[in-house]
Amino acid sequence: MQIARDILTRSYRSMRTIRDFEERLHVEFATGDIPGFVHLYCGEEASGVGVCAHLTDTDTIASTHRGHGHCIAKGVGVDGMMAEIYGRRSGVCRGKGGSMHIADLSLGMLGANGIVGGGPPLICGAALSHKTLKDGAVAVAFYGDGASNEGSTLESLNLASVWKVPAVFVVEDNGYGEATGASYAVAGNQKDRAAGFGMPYFECDGNDFFSVYETAGEAIEHARKGNGPAMLHVHLARWYGHFEGDAMTYRAADEVAKLRAEHDCLVNFRRKVVGAGLLEDSDLDTIDTAVKDEIEAAVVAARKAPLPEDADLMKDVYVSY
Ligand SMILES: Cc1ncc(C[n+]2csc(CCOP(=O)(O)OP(=O)(O)O)c2C)c(N)n1
Ligand SMILES: [Mg+2]
């Protein structure tokens, strides 16, 4: 597959930014200075980035409780994100959203979502807007294997198909909903669910950027051309607990170590692009260094930034259309 050099470097930078952002949050959260919960996207980077590489700012996405990666992949800056997660006034939502309701409507990032299965209905509305306005855009819902069982998700698959809107349903299947295995909790399979609602099904390896990029491109093209919705099933793995503080007693002792050693999407990416002569190791090393500095600066700034004041309580809460 031919991919332009700027897409390769942008995608690597985006995956590296997500990885470092999340690894750093793992450390920062343990200090007790971050309010609320955080759910880390480490290990799943190639999914958000491989999908969003096909999207513009006019295209919309709805995310999940595990939303930092989708945010970064859609182009939201790490300074505003870090400050938001620290609940600071300089955050992208002025400190009112936090990790689970982080959003940037100017970039088509409609928000992380504390409600499992909350994203797919939003995407039906966004996709209906795109169709009505004829703006050529698509709406993408990311949701987990657990969320795939929610009534709201199944109703959304139906509605999007009935309305024939440009929606793409991306199932990020990491094999767990909290501590419950998908092998126990998900009846049938995602492919048959897509077929049941009359939409095409695409499947890819979420540890491999190129697999996601290629199949997401097909699913998005199907929707963008006016053929109605599509489903993309991404097989991937989360490296940390369901939330920070989860002891993961339900996982085999060596499960995560094996994932890190054998299925790291960043290592896979580097091996492929350097092996094919598309980029040099030094190109990727330069990105690694720049991202490291960027994350450090974002943490320092977020820690120094002021908290919202009482007078901010009702500001920026509602938007009038
Ligand atoms: C409607 C609703 N039900 C239950 C919960 C509690 N909850 C939060 S995350 C989660 C598991 C979601 O699993 P999955 O969709 O596979 O996403 P993952 O955490 O694996 O990324 C549950 C049950 C919730 N937030 N909202
Ligand atoms: Mg899951």
CA gap 287, 25 in Å, rounded: 20
- Please name the residues in contact with 301: beta carbons below 8 A apart, sequence gap of 6 or more: 79, 82, 83, 90
- 18 CA → ligand 2 middle, Å: 18
Which atom of ligand 1 approaches the CA of 115 most closely? 26
| 90 pocket-lining for ligand 1 (C-beta < 6 Å) | no
Which pLDDT tens digit goes with each residue over 68-96? Answer: 999 999 999 999 999 999 999 999 999 99
Q: State whether the Cα torsion 132-150-180-195 is positive or negative.
A: negative
Considering only CA atoms, which of 240, 268, 270 is closest in space to residue 256?
240
- The closest-lying atom of ligand 1 relative to the alpha carbon of residue 172 is 21
Kindly give the number of the ligand 1 atom that is closest to the alpha carbon of 174.
20
Structural domains of the chain ordered from first start: 5-314 (3.40.50.970)
Atom of ligand 1 nearest to the CA of 173: 16
Q: Using an 8 Å Cβ cutoff, are 102 and 25 in contact?
A: no
| 240 C-beta neighbours (distance < 10 Å), count | 21
Ligand 1: residue whose CA is nearest its atom 17: 144
Our answer on whether the CB atom of 174 is closer than 6 Å to any ligand 1 atom is yes
SS3 string, the chain, reads CCCCHHHHHHHHHHHHHHHHHHHHHHHHHCCCCCCCCCCCCCCCHHHHHHHHCCCCCCCEEECCCCCHHHHHHCCCCHHHHHHHHCCCCCCCCCCCCCHHHCCEHHHCECCCCCCCCCHHHHHHHHHHHHHHHCCCCCEEEEEECCHHHCHHHHHHHHHHHHHCCCEEEEEEECCEECCEEHHHHCCCCHHHHHHHCCCCEEEEECCCHHHHHHHHHHHHHHHHCCCCCEEEEEECCCCCCCCCCCCCCCCCCCHHHHHHHHCCHHHHHHHHHHHCCCCCHHHHHHHHHHHHHHHHHHHHHHHHCCCCCHHHCCCCCCCCC
Ligand 1 atom closest to Cα of residue 147 = 15
For each successive 10 residues of the chain (321 residues), what is the average pLDDT? 92 98 98 96 98 98 98 98 98 96 96 98 98 98 98 98 98 98 97 98 98 98 98 98 96 96 98 97 98 98 97 83 65
Ligand 1 atom at shortest distance from the alpha carbon of 114: 25
Whether the CA torsion 54, 45, 81, 167 is positive or negative: it is positive
> CB of 80 closer than 6 A to ligand 1?
no
Residue owning the nearest CA to atom 4 of ligand 1: 116
146 touches ligand 1 (CB under 6 Å): yes
Residue of the CA atom closest to atom 13 of ligand 1? 177
Q: How far apart are CA 30 and CA 40, in angstroms?
A: 13
With a 6 Å cutoff on the Cβ, whether 185 touches ligand 1 is: no
Query: CA-based Rg of the chain, rounded to a whole angstrom?
Result: 19
Q: Please state the φ and ψ torsions of residue 37, each to the nearest 5 degrees.
A: -110, 150
| Cα of 115 from ligand 1 centre, angstroms | 7
Q: How far is CA 153 from the centre of its chain?
A: 17
Provide the token pair at 112: 């992380």
Ligand 1 within 6 A of CB of 119: no
Q: Is 116 in the pocket of ligand 1 (CB under 6 A)?
A: yes
pLDDT at position 318 is: 78
In whole angstroms, give the CA distance from residue 217 to residue 222.
9
- How many A from CA of 177 to the centre of ligand 1? 6
What is the reported pLDDT for 321? 65
Instruction: Flag whether the pTM goes above 0.85.
Output: yes
Does ligand 1 come within 6 angstroms of the Cβ of 262?
Answer: no
Mutating to test ligand 1, I would choose from 63, 116, 170 the residue with most ligand atoms within 8 A of its C-beta, which is 116
Q: Do 42 and 19 touch, CB atoms closer than 8 A?
A: yes
End-to-end CA distance of the chain: 43
CA 216 to CA 170: how far, in whole Å? 9
CB 70 within 8 A of CB 37: no
Distance 242 CA to ligand 1 centre (A): 9
